[in-house]
Structure 1
Amino acid sequence: MKRLLLSAMLATLPLTAHAADPVREPYGIGLEGFAYPYPVQMLPVVNEGEPLKMAYMDIKSAKPNGRTVVLLHGRNFPSSYWAPVIGVLSEAGYRVVVPDQIGFGKSSKPSGELHFDNLARNTIALMDHLVIPQFDVVAHSLGGMLAVRLARAYPDHIDHLLLAAPIGLEDYRLYVPPTPTEKIIETEDKLTADGYRKQLEVNYAMKLQPDQVTPLIDARFNIKGAADYPRWLHAFVSSSQMIYREPVALEVPLIAQPTLFVMGGDDFNAPGKPLAPEVLRPKMGQNADLAKAAAAKMPKARVEVLPDAGHLVFLDAAPKFNELMLAFLSATAK
Structure 2
Amino acid sequence: MTRAAVLAGFGTCLPARLVTNEELAARVGRTDAWIRARTGIERRYFAPEGTSTADLATGAGAQALKCSGVPQADTVVLATVTPDRPCRAVAPVVASGLGLHQAAAYDVSAGFGGFLYGLATAAGLIGCGAAERALVIGADTLSRRLDPADRPTAVSYGDGAGAVLLRAGEPDEPGALGPVSLGSDGEGTGAVSVRDGDDTGTAPAGTAPAGTAPGHRPGRWAVRENRRAFWLGVQRMAQSAQCVLDRAGWPAGDVSHLVTHQANHRIVERLADELGIPRERGICNISEVGNTATASLPLTLGHAHAARLPKPGDRVLLTAFGGGLTWGATVLTWPAIDRD
Using the size of structure 1 for normalisation, the TM-score is 0.33
Greater RCO structure (CA 8 Å; 6+ sep): 2
- Return the structure number with greater strand share: 2
- Return the structure number with greater helix share: 1
Using the size of structure 2 for normalisation, the TM-score is 0.32
